[in-house]
Amino acid sequence: MSDEASHPTYEFDRATAVDEIAPGTYRGDVDAGFTVGPKPNGGYLVAMAVRAMRHALAAAGSGHADPLATTTHFVGAPDPGPVDLEVTVLRTGRSASQARAVITQDGAPCVDVVATLGTLRTDPAPAAWQAAAPFPVAPAEACTRLPAEPPGAAFRVSIMDRAEARLDPETLGWALGQPDGRGDLRGWISFADGRPTDPLGMLFFLDALPPATFSVVRTGWVPTLSLTTYLRAAPGPGPLRIRQRAQAIDDGRVDEVCELWDDHGRLVGHATQLAGIRYDADAALTPHPDAVEAASTELGPAAT
């Protein structure tokens, strides 16, 4: 069974396409254009895995195709080139179905994805209830596009030729040697070749920004260990607002939260991830301004 991509004229769809080589086993080709340094982007790999799950669920009689939730553990990073995807259908249901896909290369497991698939609503109506509001961000034309070859970088970020990610200058001080300590990146994101953003595209975008830790401490690679995504609705047309925030850096790890908002003011995608982070032992971490203010205020005693 060959994968007929939803937008076959676009690079992302060709790069995530899979072919069935045996029942429940699919072959994909990791595209070097979706790498950070020598290794593929995690969100891109999740999208490839979900594409294989769609095929397996369809073969099992399920019409569920939208990844409502995914949980991914990155055991190892495959190299560009052929990979196999072993898909297990865990359950098919009326409102949702579950499947698991393990990406292997040369017989070694690399990525383990478990997903709940269903059908996202496509109407532009607001959420029934929503605690958050769209975050402030400069207009896209006033934001700075992230290059594939950042000045001073030790490696090429090829995904920035595929994703048009533009960051608000207010959150780009770290690129000029002026980190603000907020661990917060805000901007806009879309496909550089004009591909419409769909659920698979959102999986890629939710892992596409630089680490928000760059505004706290400059590091090299910040490898994702675990990534969880939630999609709430099919996005409206045009670039999506994107925000990535670091929650805490401690003991060689950092957790980050990423949000995607569409032009209807809806939170359409959300992700959390745990990543490894390495920096020199004598590196100075820029303190968060709110944390500095809180530290100067004496806390009252705990209630008894």
Flag whether 236 is in a domain.
yes
Q: Is the pLDDT of residue 18 over 60?
A: yes
Flag whether 193 is in a domain.
yes
Average pLDDT over residues 190-219: 96
Average pLDDT over residues 229-253: 97
Q: Is the pLDDT of residue 148 over 80?
A: yes
Q: Is the pLDDT of residue 297 over 60?
A: no
Overall domain count for the chain: 2
Average pLDDT over residues 228-239: 97
Flag whether 241 is in a domain.
yes
Structure tokens at 302: 């705990």
Encode pLDDT of 23-45 as tens digits.
999 999 999 999 999 999 999 99
**Same domain (yes/no): 199, 89:** no
Average pLDDT over residues 271-280: 94
**Same domain (yes/no): 144, 111:** no
Flag whether 130 is in a domain.
no
**Same domain (yes/no): 152, 240:** yes
**Same domain (yes/no): 271, 169:** yes
Residues 6+ apart with CB under 8 A from 93: none
Encode pLDDT of 58-81 as tens digits.
999 999 999 999 999 999 999 999
**Same domain (yes/no): 197, 248:** yes
Cα separation, 202 vs 198, in Å, equals 6
Query: If residue 252 lies in a helix (H) or strand (E), which one and from where to where?
Result: none
How much is the pLDDT for 2?
A: 40
Average pLDDT over residues 128-137: 92
Q: Is the pLDDT of residue 133 over 60?
A: yes
**Same domain (yes/no): 113, 245:** no
Flag whether 245 is in a domain.
yes
Average per-residue pLDDT in the chain? Answer: 93
Flag whether 50 is in a domain.
yes
Average pLDDT over residues 163-184: 95
Cα separation, 155 vs 37, in Å, equals 5
Residue 152 Rama label (left phi>0; alpha psi -120 to 50; beta): left
Three-state SS letters, 243-294 = EEEEEEEECCEEEEEEEEECCCCCEEEEEEEEEECCCCCCCCCCCCHHHHHH
**Same domain (yes/no): 79, 144:** no
> Among 89-103, 148-162, 246-260, whose mean pLDDT is lowest?
148-162
Q: Is the pLDDT of residue 122 over 80?
A: yes
Q: Is 160 helix (H, G, I), strand (E, B) or coil?
A: helix
Query: Which stretches of the chain are DSSP H helices?
Result: 11-16, 42-59, 199-205, 289-295
Cα separation, 201 vs 196, in Å, equals 8
pLDDT-above-70 percentage for the chain: 93
Taking the CA atoms of residue 117, residue 51, residue 259 and residue 182 in that order, the dihedral angle to the nearest 10 degrees is: 130
Average pLDDT over residues 37-56: 98
The total of other beta-carbon atoms located within 10 Å of residue 218's CB is 17
Q: Is the pLDDT of residue 4 over 50?
A: no
**Same domain (yes/no): 98, 155:** no
**Same domain (yes/no): 279, 145:** yes
**Same domain (yes/no): 80, 180:** no
The total of other beta-carbon atoms located within 10 Å of residue 38's CB is 13
Flag whether 297 is in a domain.
no
Domain hosting residue 227, numbered range: 140-291
Q: Phi/psi of residue 244, each to 5°?
A: -130, 130
Q: Is the pLDDT of residue 253 over 90?
A: yes
Flag whether 192 is in a domain.
yes
Q: Phi/psi of residue 240, each to 5°?
A: -100, 145
**Same domain (yes/no): 257, 165:** yes
Residue 29's domain is classified under what CATH number? 2.40.160.210
**Same domain (yes/no): 215, 265:** yes
Q: Is the pLDDT of residue 7 over 80?
A: no
How much is the pLDDT for 300?
A: 60
Q: Is the pLDDT of residue 111 over 90?
A: yes
